[in-house]
Homo-oligomer: A and B are copies of this chain.
Amino acid sequence: MKPDTGNGEDSAAVRVVDFEKLGGMVPVIAQDHETGEVLMVAYMNREAFEETLRTGRVCYFSRSRNSLWRKGEESGNVQEVHGVYVDCDADTLLVKVRQIGGAACHEGYRSCFFRRVAEDDLQVVAKRVFDPADVYASKG
């Protein structure tokens, strides 16, 4: 579902969000709109935020590649936007999404938070939805 945000570039949301605290970016939580599971955290700059509002598909800003990251462009596991929320300080976004393909994590898990802190260890508490080698095979 594409949220009705009118003209993304001029929306109140884009104007109000504080991109300066982290040097032009804000952290973004992607949460499953049905189950409430937290799927991942990534970043958006203003351009990524505008594209997300305009297209109804989540577009992040990749810090490592220093460019827009249209989530799922390669794997097909896009995130459809069901709602965008701004926090009290307007320096963090929460995006409720439908995760196509069932997995948000590049390691093949539904959520990137698949490891839980246990006694002096990290314990994997989820099962893989896909094998990363199959999905990203072309990357060599």
A129 interface hit (Cβ, 8 Å): no
Please report the C-alpha to C-alpha distance between residue A92 and residue B6 in the assembled complex, in whole angstroms.
32
**In the complex, residue of chain B having the shortest beta-carbon distance to the beta carbon of A6:** B120
Given A84-B116, A117-B85: A92 touches B31 (CB 8 Å cut-off)? no
Please report the C-alpha to C-alpha distance between residue A128 and residue B87 in the assembled complex, in whole angstroms.
14
Residue from B4, B83, B113, B120 in contact with A7 in the complex, judged by beta carbons closer than 8 Å: B120
- In the complex, the answer to whether B40 meets A119 with C-beta atoms within 8 Å is no
A109 interface hit (Cβ, 8 Å): yes
Please report the C-alpha to C-alpha distance between residue A35 and residue B117 in the assembled complex, in whole angstroms.
21
- In the assembled complex, which residues on chain B have CB atoms less than 8 Å from the CB atom of A58? none
A68 interface hit (Cβ, 8 Å): no
